[in-house]
Amino acid sequence: MKGSIRRLLVSGVTVGALAAGTLAVLPAATAGAASSSAVATWAEAPQTPPNYIFPFMGLQYFSVSNINNFQFLMYRPLYWFGNGSTPNLNPSLSLANNPTYSNGSKTVTINLKNYKWSNGEKLTSQNVMFWMNMLHAQKDNWADYSQGIGIPDDLKSITVNSPTKLTFQLSAPVNANWFTYNELSQITPMPNAWDKTSDAGAAGSGGCSAAAYGMANTQCTAVYTYLSKASGFDPANPKGANNSLTTYATNPLWQVVDGPFHLTKFDASGNVTMAPNKSYSGPIKPTVSQFVEVPFTSDSSEFNALVGNKLSVGYLPSANVTTGTTNAYKAGPNNSRLSGNYNLAPLYTWSINYFPYNFQSTGNGGTAGKIFSQLYFRQAFQTLVDQPLYIQKIDKGYGIPTYGPVPVYPSNSYASSTEKSNPYPYNTGKAKSLLSSHGWKVVPGGSSYCENPGTSKNQCGKGIPKGTKLSFNLEYATGGTALAQQMNAEKSSWAQAGINVTLSGATFNTVLGNAVPCTAGQSCNWELENWGGGWVFAPDYYPTGEAIFQTGAGSNSGSYSDVKNDANIVATTQKSVPLTTYENYLAQQLPVVYQPNPATSLTEIKKNVKGVTPQSPLYSINPENWRF
């Protein structure tokens, strides 16, 4: 999923414990593992309260606050990603052993572990089949569905070999990493108790989970409708008002969980209370007595709560970072009002930050797209983006530069040395000479123009007439001061080579609405659009480019199209090749303007809390690990 303005989508993925408020110390209240009576409080990101509980949903509910910070605590996904501070597959938290690939990577075998649901049911293949059947019936309503790519379109059949073993037959060979990380990652097994079409129905009466794969579309649709309505979405009347949110904590449906927690209180403003699930089968059991998510309407209200010592785990708003750090990977001094009670732990997530060129743009007198298509221009443009300066001054040191399509941090095995060594360091002289050696008259502080048009090596390029100015419009998402500052700084930087960029602000959604791939026959004059978030690799954890950089991909906003790149991408999803060729090519070809990636959250952890770090780079929180 694409990233977004921190304030909007990203939650403070932090792990911590303790609460200042209500701490009733009960004597000898231990049952089994040493449990405490502490209440753990965690700050939600502003204005993003969880609002959807059913783990099969459309894109409109597909958010971090709903999935990673809410549903995952109760309904575990089949495979868990995020191991320590790496984004890798986590075998100990997955519900199944690592999948095995055979038959030329066309067959995938899944062996389930011994998990129980809280109502006594055992985790079986039928639970997995339940979700797969529903996907087959309702793929249009599934958030991560891509036509022709991945599940369910590339599934030939699924066989249930035993209550703990399933076999997937694929229609074509796949890259094992890609299929595990990007496709199997979408599956959340569902309990038999949900397989019904009315409150009074018996478990399994819906007929969706027990059916053979793809054979129960009507039944699964009925079950899907029933469950969605219980969660607040009526497919038949999507605009109808409903008040299901208030029933989340009381509806017995949602009390059937296989994760470490279950819901005890929930309200529409985002106050969420969970209690430990006594039959959780995972490796680490929760010891807190309650886990509470606290909503905030703004950064300043959350900061006030921290100052008042009211949270176990929160985040430091960027406006309150007074000192910063010199080393992005290590926390600098904490804000003086918090340093007495809290420790600071920066969190970087598995994402890259960039904004697209519109290669089909008709802006700037029809030349914008043509100018962008010239590699030398993109190189000059990128060479003027002084990422280290912006990280140091605007992000106060808490940021990672983006040099290519694969994140260089958190540490992973995919980032190549080419990427990590920054192919285009900041250099105004180099930028100017790139332009002037290709037929442009460089006017620093003014408007550079093309004085040598044509298509040979030292001329401006195809479709760029003489006198064309380097003048572009860049629309960025308002709402965050950091992005505005950065855009301003970059604008002044580009002006050094006579590249004249006019900035304008709009809401996040407007920018997204404008940054769409051009369709034939429609005028398409957007040139540069920056929503501030780039792309977050979740749930497509394996950072291949089929969703963002492949020709015609749905999120290939700028319509970037390169034959060699397409071949590279296909190889990474279908053959067992590493990402190196693909990422080195794009690090050099600059399909988008790479931008520094600020820390997702500057997590504040109360001092007497353990088990919070290392934080998962995939946004999930694990309060079952919290100890105090």
Partner 1 sequence: MLGYIIRRIIQAIIVILGVSLIVFLLSQLIPGGQARAALGPKATPLQIAHFNRLNGYNQPLWVQYWHYILSIIKGDLGYSYKNNQGVTALILNRLPKTLVLVGSSTILALIIAIPLGMAQAVRRNQAFDYVMTGVSFFLYAIPAFLIGELLIIWFSFDLNWFPSQPPTSASPWAIITDPRAFVLPVFSLAALTIAAFSRYMRSSVLDTLGEDYIRTAKAKGASPRRVLYGHAFRNALLPILTLIGLSLPAIVGGALIVETVFNYPGMGLLTVQAAANDDVPLVLGTTLVATAATVLGSLLADVLYAAADPRIRLGGD
Partner 2 sequence: MQPLEGNVVPDEAILPEHEADHDAGEAVAEAGFLRNMVRVFGENKLAVASLIFLVFMVLFCFVGPHIYVTNQTNAQDALLNSTQNSPPSWSHPLGTDENGFDILGRLMYGGQIALIVGFAAAVVATVIGVTYGALSGFFGGWLDSLFMRFVDIGLSIPVLFLLIALVTIYRPTAPLLIIVIAAVSWLVPARLIRAETLSLRTREYVQAVRVMGGSRRRIIGRHIIPNSVGTIVVFATFDVADSILLLAALGFLGLGVPAPQTDWGTMLSNGVNYASNGYWWEIYPVGLCIILVVVALNYIGDALRDALEVRLQRR
Residues that bind partner 2 (CB under 8 A): 300, 303-304, 307, 319-320, 322, 337, 386, 389-390, 393-394, 475, 478-479, 481, 484-485, 487-493, 495-496, 503-507, 510
> Is the separation of the CB atoms in 79 and 404 below 8 Å?
no
Q: Which residue lies nearer to partner 2 by CB, 129 or 316?
A: 316
Find which of partner 2, partner 1, none residue 319 binds, CB within 5 to 8 Å per kind: partner 2
Q: Does 301 bind partner 1 (CB under 8 A)?
A: yes
Q: Of 497 and 590, which CB lies nearer to partner 2 in the complex structure?
A: 497
Cβ 477 vs Cβ 5: under 8 Å? yes
Which residue, 140 or 521, is less far from partner 1 as judged by CB? 140
Is 146 a binding residue for partner 1 by CB under 8 A? The answer is yes
Alpha-carbon span 446 to 196, nearest angstrom: 68
Q: Residue 238 Cβ, how far from partner 1 at the closest point, in Å?
A: 5
**Binding of partner 1 by 298 (CB under 8 A):** yes
The binder of partner 1 chosen from 10, 16, 39, 52 (CB under 8 A): 52
**Residue 238: which of partner 2, partner 1, none does it interact with, CB under 5 to 8 A by kind?**
partner 1
Structure tokens at 451: 């004085």
In 10 A of CB 12, how many CB atoms?
29
- Residue type at position 522: Q
Query: Which residue, 94 or 471, is less far from partner 2 as judged by CB?
Result: 471
Query: Please, which residue, 104 or 444, has the CB nearer to partner 2?
Result: 444
145 counts as binding partner 1 under rule CB under 8 A:
yes
HEC string of 22-55? CCCCCCCCCCCCCCCCCEEEEECCCCCCCCCCCC
Minimum CB separation of residue 473 from partner 1 in Å reads 14
Q: Does 510 participate in binding partner 1 (rule CB under 8 A)?
A: yes
Which of partner 1, partner 2, none interacts with 301 (beta carbon under 5 to 8 A by kind)?
partner 1
**Nearest to partner 2 of 76, 396 (CB atom):** 396
What is the rounded CA–CA span in Å between residue 441 and residue 154? 52
Q: What is the CA radius of gyration of the chain?
A: 25
**Lookup: tokens for 122:** 């055992």
Contact indicator for 57, 65 with CB cutoff of 8 Å: no
Stretch that binds partner 1, among 97-105, 142-150, 193-201, 386-394 (CB under 8 A): 142-150
User: What six digits make up the tokens of 227?
Assistant: 């469950």
What's the CA gap between 442 and 429, in Å, rounded?
Answer: 11
User: Which CB sits closer to partner 2, 101 or 494?
Assistant: 494
Q: Which of 315, 318, 303 is nearest to 344 (CA)?
A: 315
DSSP 461: B
Q: Minimal distance in Å, beta carbon 234 to partner 1?
A: 9
| SS3 track for 167-185 | EEEECCCCCHHHHHHHHHH
Instruction: List the 471-477 sheet strands across, edge first.
Output: 500-506, 471-477, 528-530
Stretch that binds partner 1, among 50-58, 186-194, 209-217, 350-358 (CB under 8 A): 50-58
* Secondary structure of residue 487 in the 3-state scheme: helix
- Residue 481 near partner 1 by CB under 8 A: no
Eight-class DSSP state of 273:
E
C-alpha 413, offset from chain centre: 19
Residue 495 CB, nearest approach to partner 2 (Å) = 8
SS3 readout for 52-111: CCCCCCCHHHCCCCCHHHHHHHHCCCCCCEEECCEEEECCCCCCECCCEEECCCCEEEEE
Tell me if the bond preceding 401 is cis, omega within 30° of 0: no
Asked if 93 contacts 168 with a C-beta cutoff of 8 angstroms, the reply is: no
Residue 425 lies near partner 1 (rule: CB under 8 A): no
Q: What is the DSSP letter of 128?
A: H
Of 20, 35, 62, 551, the residue at the interface with partner 1 (CB under 8 A) is 62
Q: Which amino acid, 134? A: M
Eight-state DSSP code of residue 319:
G
Q: Let me know: does 43 contact 267? Beta carbons within 8 Å.
A: no
Across the chain, which distance is largest between two alpha carbons, in Å? 85
In whole angstroms, the minimum distance from the beta carbon of 536 to partner 1 comes to 9
In angstroms, give the least distance from the CB of 12 to partner 2. Answer: 18
- Supply the minimum distance, in Å, between the C-beta of residue 237 and partner 1: 9
Residue 33 vs 59, nearer CB to partner 1 = 59
Site for partner 1 in 147-206 (CB under 8 A): 147
Asked whether the beta carbons of 41 and 310 are under 8 A apart, the reply is: yes
Nearest distance in Å: CB 426, partner 2 = 10
Q: Which stretch binds partner 1 (CB under 8 A): 49-57, 207-215, 255-263, 374-382?
A: 49-57
Of 324, 454, 463, 554, the one binding partner 1 (CB under 8 A) is 554
Residue written as tokens 């509910």?
Answer: 61
Indicate the residue among 458 and 509 with the shorter CB distance to partner 2: 509
Q: Do 80 and 94 contact (CB within 8 A), yes or no?
A: yes
| Binding status of residue 507 toward partner 1 by CB under 8 A | yes
Name which of 497 and 547 has its Cβ closer to partner 1: 547
Tell me if 78 sits within 8 A of 132, measured CB to CB: no
Cβ contact 4:530 at 8 Å: no
Residues between 258 and 277 that touch partner 1 (CB under 8 A)? 267-271
Closest CB 161 distance from partner 1, rounded Å: 34
309 binds partner 1 (CB under 8 A): no
The H or E element that residue 489 is part of is helix 481-495
Given the complex with partner 1, which of 210 and 512 has the nearer CB atom? 512
Least Å distance, CB 445 to partner 2, is 9
Establish if 576 lies at the interface with partner 1 (CB under 8 A): no
Print the binding letters for residues 597-616 with partner 1: x by CB under 8 A, - otherwise.
--------------------
Contact partner at residue 495 from partner 2, partner 1, none, CB < 5 to 8 Å by partner kind: partner 2
Interacting residues toward partner 1 by CB under 8 A = 1-2, 4, 8, 47, 49, 51-52, 58-63, 140-141, 143-147, 232-233, 235, 238-245, 267-271, 294-298, 300-301, 304, 479, 507-510, 512-514, 516, 531, 533, 547, 554-555
